[in-house]
Structure 1
Amino acid sequence: MAGQGIPRLLLSRLARSGEPISQLFGSPAVADNPYAVLESVRARGQLIRTPIAYFTVDHEICRNMLRDKDMGVRATDNFSTRFTVLRWLKDRAPLAPNPTEAPSMLVVNPPEHDRLRRSVSAAFTPRAIARLRDRVETVTVELLDALPENGTADLISDFAAQVPIAIISEMLGFPYDTRDEFLSWGDAITPLLDIGNPWPTYRRALIAIESMDRFADGHIARLRAEPGEDILSTLVAEGEMDDQELKATATLLMGAGFETTVNLIGNAIVQLLAHPDQLARLREEPDLWPNAVEEVLRIDSPVQSTARVAHAEVEYAGMRLAPEATVILSLAGANRDPKVFDEPDRFDITRANAKEHLSFSSGIHACLGASLARMEAVHALRALFERFPDLKLAGEPTRRPLFTLHGYSHMPVALGHRHAERSATMHS
């Protein structure tokens, strides 16, 4: 808890001085709409120094740092381990394997990262993703059929979360009845991607990690006895990962496999309902759906930030960064950089360079499942708005009080009448 408590105290102290990082991580209101704070950072320069870390919202710097071999990753609370006592505590009370701690490939550097990523990359090739399209269509139709005509629904729990959780569960060989547990575990663990969590949030995450670890132990044992055709069965059979690496990889893929996509789908629904002219254009020109998804990724990124640490002395924007210097990269800020995107605050599904966003990161840590997330979102969104053309919000959507992951926890809607025909397939 020291790795969260000390940053929390520091953030609280800095909040009184108006430091942008303390506002972004410490205020639910700012987490809901961080863009004004990010623009205040942009006004201070391409790269600024704060008492916690360097910070940038600059597209060019973010992109270059993500690709720089002299910049690496570390766990989100690792800046705290500069203190000897905290390092001692961390070494003696490690968390069970989870997406936020090594050996998760999210927070390890080459050559460990390359070995772990190479082991699972075959499951996310374009050919592999194409094979999943029919299953995504089937799951989407089943979910839409279950929604009540002229009724109400929570489009996060009833739809946006269910599409990706179904697909990634099957890819990992997880039983159908574990989906709700994984949604609950993911909701509890994802705050660890932020810093300075309060004790109740941190304790809930620890309980979820322990539960997930016990499940993973049992699941891996079952796959050794009765392997299937899923990713984990292949990894177990290959024997190139130890149990800690298997569990960290499984939980990372599970979390990344639905967290990004549920936020992407939810953010897209709100953006499209707020811009009926854009939604009308999509009804007339459905071939624009892939670019519409890219524009949602740009203007309301499901992953708002990441961090890099200098492994050698580097220079950016005329500033020399010493080894071990930490930089928080605002992907959301980079995605609204006016040097790259004209009128960056305008939602435009026809934006020619929308795909230049950094929402899926870049370089060796670029999101492994980006193509899957895009495919799921394009089909789910098109199918939803075709089946329920009169869909509208039935209350204010509730944002998750997080900074790193940006999405909704609840989205009440009035569905309206159901279109008689099922959505067109996405085989084009």
Structure 2
Amino acid sequence: MLAGTALRWGTKHGLMRAGIRAAARKGDEQARFFNDPAVRADPYPFYASVRAAGPVVRGRLMWATARHDLAGAVLRHDAFGVGFSDRAMPGLVGAVFRYSRRSSPIGPVDPPSMLVTDPPDHGRYRRLVSKVFTARAIEGLRPRIEQTCAELLRDKPVDLVADFASLLPVTVIAEILGVPLDMRRQFLAWGNAAAPTLDLGLGFSTYRRTEVNIKRVNDWMRGHFARLRREPGDDLLSQLVQLDDLSEDELLATAGLLLAAGFETTVNLLGTGAWLLMRHPEQLAVLRDEPQRWGNAVEETLRYDSPVQVTARVCRRATEFGGARIEPGQVVMSMLAGANRDPDVFEHPDEFDVTRANAREHLSFSGGAHYCLGAALARLEGEIGLRMLFERYPDLRIDGEPHRRTTRVLRGFESLPVTI
């Protein structure tokens, strides 16, 4: 098993890790995103430098754009996709990769996950689950979300992430999917362990740790599917396991992604939103005077400090884009968080303003065919969660040193100590 893990790491991250280091030694600016601690701590000056360098900037590893118009356009352009073909790998590397995949666990960035699948399969998977995430269906969850918030806020939070921001979304998605609530903290632990797989160039020890935890999720899910086939409920997974449309791997990938995506970004949204409002009491005062703005405050949080910072697309056919010619197989990084601070779209973009009229024009939920399926749910949980948090504890304050997550693609807090 260790040999297989090493082979998978080498082809998925090891080669990229070496490429990033080589590019950094030669002064490649984009390589800083992957390995500079200062960029991880505060990526926004870096995005501004990419935006100032041109519409689409070429690095040694990939192209990148931090302009709002182009970052959004690449997500919708039919010349770009998300699926990665191992056939594009050099002969021996591709063969090793295919061999190592035989016993590989299925994580959020492994086929057949929707996250890395292009049409027509992507549309097939999405249609099977989309009815649960319609605006009407999500609005019907409002009473249950409010009840869950009230239950969680009965006890004074000490760490806002551990005691509230993580437990609210994982409780909601667990109920939607029909997984046991007493598994909530285990799901959070598994999700946190798998989150680094969205980054590029992981070290071997980190990758090995993610694989171990993804395999544990896979094993638990397979057992859960068997239980639901014997005793189905009214939840989404009970419906999916009864279908003939999905293979076991497709079912595993879909369920695992829905579970992880159902809480990962919302944990970051709630933690970041609370942190911003505690640091900007004048903005919190606006919301107390005008509570109808809570929804817009969520949009401004998403714009100002996006839970998902970047996403990538692979060119499928040669195309002119942003004044540059992109060749098949080349990658374009769409810097969502950078686009959300584009001064051509957002006036005074580095200011946090809950009254911002066009805050909803952010790209934090991606776009095109891969627009976030759970966007409406995240918005509702963010609005209810932040409003009820500050209604219950109006004098909430940061108490100690917050710690950010070490991931690059996902941005949020690992811990956020608070006091009343």
Q: Which stretch has the larger CA shift, 107-116 or 30-39?
A: 30-39
Alignment of 1:283 onto 2:288: yes
Cα deviation digits, residues 53-85 of structure 1 (max 9, x gap): 11111111111111111211035xx79963333
- Alpha carbon RMSD of aligned pairs, Å? 1.4
Alignment of 1:404 onto 2:404: no
Note the 1:215-230 alignment, pairs <5 A. 215-230=220-235
Kindly indicate whether the alpha-carbon contact (under 8 Å) linking 1:25 and 1:403 is maintained by their aligned counterparts in 2: yes
Counterpart CA distance in 1 for 2:285 and 2:67 is: 33
Kindly indicate whether the alpha-carbon contact (under 8 Å) linking 1:314 and 1:320 is maintained by their aligned counterparts in 2: yes
Counterpart CA distance in 1 for 2:28 and 2:149 is: 43
Kindly indicate whether the alpha-carbon contact (under 8 Å) linking 2:66 and 2:336 is maintained by their aligned counterparts in 1: yes
Structure 1 counterpart of 2:171: 166
Counterpart CA distance in 2 for 1:385 and 1:18 is: 46
Kindly indicate whether the alpha-carbon contact (under 8 Å) linking 2:221 and 2:252 is maintained by their aligned counterparts in 1: yes
TM-score, structure 1 length as denominator?
0.93
Contiguous gaps of at least 5 residues in structure 2: 1-8
Counterpart CA distance in 1 for 2:175 and 2:17 is: 38
- SS of the residue corresponding to residue 182 of structure 2 reads helix
Cα deviation digits, residues 333-368 of structure 1 (max 9, x gap): 111111111111111111111100000011110000
Amino acid at match of 1:374: R
- SS of the residue corresponding to residue 145 of structure 1 reads coil
Counterpart CA distance in 1 for 2:369 and 2:173 is: 22
Alignment of 1:117 onto 2:126: yes
Cα deviation digits, residues 178-208 of structure 1 (max 9, x gap): 1111111111111010001111110110101
Contiguous gaps of at least 5 residues in structure 1: 417-428
Q: CA deviation at 1:15?
A: 2.6
Structure 1 counterpart of 2:97: 90
- SS of the residue corresponding to residue 102 of structure 1 reads coil
Note the 1:149-228 alignment, pairs <5 A. 153-228=158-233
Alignment of 1:245 onto 2:254: no
TM-score, structure 2 length as denominator?
0.95
Counterpart CA distance in 2 for 1:352 and 1:18 is: 40
Q: CA deviation at 1:176?
A: 1.5
Cα deviation digits, residues 394-418 of structure 1 (max 9, x gap): 012111111110101000011x2xx
Kindly indicate whether the alpha-carbon contact (under 8 Å) linking 1:166 and 1:179 is maintained by their aligned counterparts in 2: yes
- Assess, with a 3 A threshold, how the Cα gap between structure 1 residues 154 and 35 changes in structure 2: closer, same or farther: same
Counterpart CA distance in 1 for 2:37 and 2:178 is: 36
Kindly indicate whether the alpha-carbon contact (under 8 Å) linking 1:98 and 1:247 is maintained by their aligned counterparts in 2: no
Amino acid at match of 1:93: S
- SS of the residue corresponding to residue 242 of structure 2 reads helix
Counterpart CA distance in 2 for 1:299 and 1:79 is: 36
Q: Which stretch has the larger CA shift, 288-297 or 310-319?
A: 310-319
- SS of the residue corresponding to residue 146 of structure 1 reads coil
Q: CA deviation at 1:122?
A: 0.4
Counterpart CA distance in 1 for 2:198 and 2:275 is: 24
Q: Among 133, 147, 168, which residue is 2:142 paired with? A: 133
Counterpart CA distance in 2 for 1:70 and 1:54 is: 15
Q: CA deviation at 1:322?
A: 1.2
Structure 2 counterpart of 1:13: 22
Q: Which stretch has the larger CA shift, 31-40 or 12-21?
A: 12-21
Matched length:
409
Cα deviation digits, residues 81-136 of structure 1 (max 9, x gap): 63333322221122322211110011010000000000000000112101211111
Structure 1 counterpart of 2:77: 68
Q: CA deviation at 1:209?
A: 1.0
Structure 2 counterpart of 1:424: none
Q: Among 217, 226, 236, which residue is 1:231 paired with? A: 236
Structure 1 counterpart of 2:3: none
